[in-house]
């Protein structure tokens, strides 16, 4: 079927999430943007417990008018660590305790890894994976069914940080929550984009736009406004607006030109101690004495996001979610 150059064929994507206020913002965008074909959503413990993530994900998809997208329950804890939720950020229910209705649907009767494998291998075009959570499901998929990499276009994951962490001074929550899984993701052997805190924290929707979303008659748009209100950036500004968070990684799939990336070696610190879960991004122009004295270590090369066009991604988000 000839494709219309004005309307390119939508990109098949799967989101692996820990819904989560900003995961919900990401799902709303993925459902509503014409450039994407959201094939499935898989759930993992992170911001809240995995059953809460499943419940929240089903609710968001229903509010967004996309109740038919398959949702599967995945890992209920990291590969090694215990569950360490972020309820202090996302509320007890993981969705800002907004009092949303329980979902009418239930998840599919297969687990997340099986749904990921089925949907990736069944896709007529290579799939882009968008993990916005601890990478436990993705690691289990890669170790259980490595053949899926033949039909993965790219993994664009929200995680890590070049500079400053949030879970610890140096580690970002998704990687810190399951460092071993993140290390496995980085060695998947497919193109990888790291959408880390360095850009994640910058994409903020202005307060006036948030209030307009909250006043919408459309349930999905109104939900986006309520979620953004809950995600005011850490600032003492009078009208802080709301951070897009994970939704920025979806923007990066829709419009990669809005992101500036550099292909750099990235290593996850796995050793116990204050640096565990840090993503060590090697930005040096040449090897140092360490390598010259025999400690050369091959690390996976990752397209690391260093700059983002904030206005471009905010406009992309608002146009898609409000349908204007
Ligand atoms: O560090 C931010 C990440 O951790 C986001 O994905 C947020 O939803 C939480 O999962
Ligand atoms: Ca998340």
Q: What is the rounded CA–CA span in Å between residue 16 and residue 23?
A: 9
Residue 291 or residue 310, greater confidence: 310
Q: What is the rounded CA–CA span in Å between residue 259 and residue 244?
A: 15
Angle CA(272)–CA(276)–CA(279) in degrees, nearest 5? 150
Ligand 1 centroid distance, CA of 173 (Å): 6
pLDDT, one tens digit per residue, over 174-201 is 999 999 999 999 999 999 999 999 999 9
Q: What is the rounded CA–CA span in Å between residue 203 and residue 248?
A: 7
* Ligand 1 neighbour 172 (Cβ under 6 A): yes
Q: What is the rounded CA–CA span in Å between residue 148 and residue 196?
A: 25
* Ligand 1 neighbour 85 (Cβ under 6 A): no
Average pLDDT over residues 317-324: 90
For the chain, list the strands marked E by DSSP. Answer: 11-17, 36-43, 71-73, 127-131, 152-158, 192-195, 204-205, 242-243, 259-268, 279-281, 301-308
Confidence of residue 99 (pLDDT cuts 50, 70, 90): confident
| 21 CA closest ligand 1 atom index | 8
* Ligand 1 neighbour 179 (Cβ under 6 A): no
| 200 CA closest ligand 1 atom index | 2
Q: Percentage of residues in the chain with pLDDT exceeding 70?
A: 96
Confidence of residue 93 (pLDDT cuts 50, 70, 90): confident
Average pLDDT over residues 292-305: 90
Task: Indicate yes or no: pTM above 0.85.
Answer: yes
Ligand 1 centroid distance, CA of 133 (Å): 6
Which pair of structure tokens corresponds to residue 249? 């990684």
pLDDT, one tens digit per residue, over 200-217 is 999 999 999 999 999 999
Average pLDDT over residues 121-136: 98
Nearest-CA residue for ligand 1 atom 2 is: 173
Q: Around ion ligand 2, which residues have CB less than 5 A away?
A: 18, 20, 23, 132-133, 246
For residues 62-71, one letter each, b for 16 or more C-beta atoms within 10 angstroms of the residue's C-beta and e for the rest, the string is bbbebeebbb
How many CB atoms lie under 10 A from the CB of residue 111?
17
Q: What is the mean pLDDT of the chain?
A: 94
pLDDT, one tens digit per residue, over 6-60 is 778 999 999 999 999 999 999 999 999 999 999 999 999 999 999 999 999 999 9
Q: What is the rounded CA–CA span in Å between residue 138 and residue 78?
A: 11
pLDDT at 168: 98
Q: Is the domain 11-321 a CATH 3.90.245.10 member?
A: yes
Nearest-CA residue for ligand 1 atom 10 is: 133
Ligand 1 centroid distance, CA of 108 (Å): 24
- Cα dihedral sign, 8-260-160-281: positive
Residue boundaries of the structural domains of the chain: 11-321
């Amino acid at each position: 079927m000839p494709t219309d150059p004005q309307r390119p064929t939508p990109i098949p994507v799967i989101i692996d999430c820990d819904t989560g206020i900003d995961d919900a913002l990401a799902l709303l965008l993925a459902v509503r943007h014409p450039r994407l074909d959201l094939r499935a959503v898989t759930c993992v413990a992170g911001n809240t417990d995995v059953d809460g993530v499943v419940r929240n994900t089903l609710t968001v998809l229903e509010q967004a008018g996309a109740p038919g997208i398959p949702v599967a329950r995945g890992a209920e804890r990291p590969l090694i660590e215990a569950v360490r939720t972020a309820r202090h950020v996302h509320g007890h229910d993981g969705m800002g305790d907004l009092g949303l209705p329980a979902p009418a649907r239930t998840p599919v009767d297969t687990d997340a890894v099986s749904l990921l494998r089925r949907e990736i291998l069944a896709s007529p075009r290579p799939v882009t994976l968008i993990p916005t959570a601890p990478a436990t499901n993705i690691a289990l998929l890669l170790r259980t069914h490595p053949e899926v990499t033949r039909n993965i276009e790219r993994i664009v994951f929200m995680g890590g940080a070049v500079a400053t962490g949030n879970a610890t001074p140096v580690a970002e929550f998704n990687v810190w929550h399951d460092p071993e899984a993140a290390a496995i993701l980085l060695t998947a052997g497919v193109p990888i984009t790291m959408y880390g805190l360095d850009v994640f924290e910058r994409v903020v929707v202005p307060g006036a736009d948030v209030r307009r979303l909250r006043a919408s008659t459309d349930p999905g748009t109104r939900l986006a406004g309520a979620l953004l209100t809950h995600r005011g950036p850490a600032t003492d500004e009078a009208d802080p607006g709301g951070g897009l968070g994970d939704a920025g990684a979806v923007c990066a799939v829709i419009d990669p030109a809005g992101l500036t990336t550099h292909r750099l070696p990235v290593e996850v610190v796995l050793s116990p101690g204050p640096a565990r879960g840090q993503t060590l991004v090697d930005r040096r122009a040449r090897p140092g004495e360490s390598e010259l004295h025999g400690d050369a270590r091959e690390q996976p090369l990752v397209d690391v996001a260093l700059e983002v066009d904030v206005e471009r991604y905010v406009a992309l988000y608002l146009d898609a979610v409000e349908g204007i």
